[in-house]
Amino acid sequence: MDNGLQSSPGPIGVFDSGYGGLTILHGIRQLLPQYDYLYLGDNARAPYGPRSFDVVYEFTRQAVVRLFEMGCHLVILGCNTASAKALRTIQENDLPSIDPQRRVLGIIRPTAEVIGTLTRSRHVGVLATEGTIRSESYTLEIQKLHPDIMVSGVACPFWVPLVEYNEADSPGADYFVKKRIDEIMRKDPAIDALILGCTHYPLLMPKILKYLPNGVRVVPQGEYVAESLQQYLLRHPQIEQKCSKNATTRYLTTENPEKFKEQAQIFLHEPVEVENITLG
């Protein structure tokens, strides 16, 4: 099929509306350091959380097409909102016409798959952005795989700004973290596993653990997405062979590269080189 896309091996693409996907990339690189990665943050148009399904789908589709054009055969939507609002449409409607050999994966299903082994009470909580909670994607995915699990969700609108303004360790963060944890535990006191359904939230982990009742397990996504990807590549050697292996990572942003560098330092604790890119 001549779609103008190159067929030689290329990097694994990781897309996010902002910086949170860096926690997903970090988890993947820890487990699978041998591959090349291309991270794209649509920071100029972030956050995606409050945007409509149609807009999130269109923005995500533009990013996926660009990553394909840059040589990626496999793209991970390292963004809960994009996974919730755009993944299925891209997989079902767009991939067959763009290139049926390429793949786009999300980050909600890997967490839904593993949650059955992490809860004893069969009561699970989800903390996420408003868009992800409203989409009910976690509830739908979890109950598809584990019909006996009760899922309760609470939106945490101030958590992302706390991380991005580097206030995650500040005393002011305590109020907002405690408020949402108290809210979800009031909603269902039987919860024994709490999914962090936004990629920024692991950076608030010390505060989350401080206010979480004893016996409640926190489930950040990075490690589970990485393990799921490792299994996926083992099951799909035809995709794995199209992923180049030079242990490199490139970073692209639709925003100011300097700003991205500062934020990346918060998420990755290492300096990065960043290139500017335009989408749409």
The DSSP bridge partners found for residue 276 are: 253
Nearest CA to 116 among 146, 137, 79? 146
Catalytic residue among 72, 79, 156, 243: 79
Catalytic residue among 72, 156, 198, 243: 198
Helices (H), 116-256: 130-135, 137-145, 159-164, 171-187, 205-211, 222-235, 237-240
Examine the residue annotation and report whether 198 is marked as an active-site residue of this protein: yes
Residue type, 111: T
DSSP-derived secondary structure letter, 262? H
C-alpha 212/C-alpha 195 separation (Å) is 12
C-alpha 46/C-alpha 20 separation (Å) is 11
C-alpha 83/C-alpha 61 separation (Å) is 11
Examine the residue annotation and report whether 72 is marked as an active-site residue of this protein: no
What are all long-range contacts of 86-93, with beta carbons under 8 Å and residues at least 24 apart?
Answer: 86/53, 86/56, 86/57, 86/59, 86/60, 86/61, 87/60, 89/57, 90/57, 90/60, 90/61, 90/64
Helix (H) or strand (E) holding 23, with range, is: helix 21-31
> Are the C-beta atoms of residues 105 and 229 closer than 8 Å to each other?
yes
Residue 126: CB atoms within 10 A of its CB come to 29
Give catalytic residue positions: 79, 198
